Amino acid sequence: MTNRPTPPPWKKKNPVKPAARTRLTEAQKDLARERAEAAGRRYPNLVDNMWAATQVQQEPPAAARDADEDDADDR
């Protein structure tokens, strides 16, 4: 039994239902553009967009951020 190579992303069916799809945020679009520019491309391609979609900016919730600032004042 031979293992078949996996097809490239542009030949696979989209596993996400149309109702569940979301658009890239402006920050994610900027990341994709930067990655494309670093690779010498004028515009981001599917792979750049897929990579950017996985890059989540981890920001603490506003309440936690405010609590951290209050703790810093106590020191």
pLDDT score, position 39: 96
Asked if residue 4 belongs to a domain, the reply is no
C-alpha span between 24 and 45 (Å, rounded): 13
C-alpha span between 16 and 14 (Å, rounded): 6
pLDDT in tens, 14-34: 888 888 888 999 999 999 999
pLDDT score, position 49: 93
- Domain count of the chain? 1
**Cα-trace Rg, the chain:** 19
Whether residue 25 contacts residue 52, with contact meaning beta carbons closer than 8 Å, is answered with: no
Asked if residue 6 belongs to a domain, the reply is no
Q: What is the largest CA-CA distance in the chain?
A: 66
Reported for 32-36, long-range contacts at CB under 8 A and 24+ positions apart, including other chains, are none
Give the domain range for residue 26: 22-55
Share of the chain above pLDDT 90, in %: 43
Asked if residue 29 belongs to a domain, the reply is yes
pLDDT score, position 35: 96
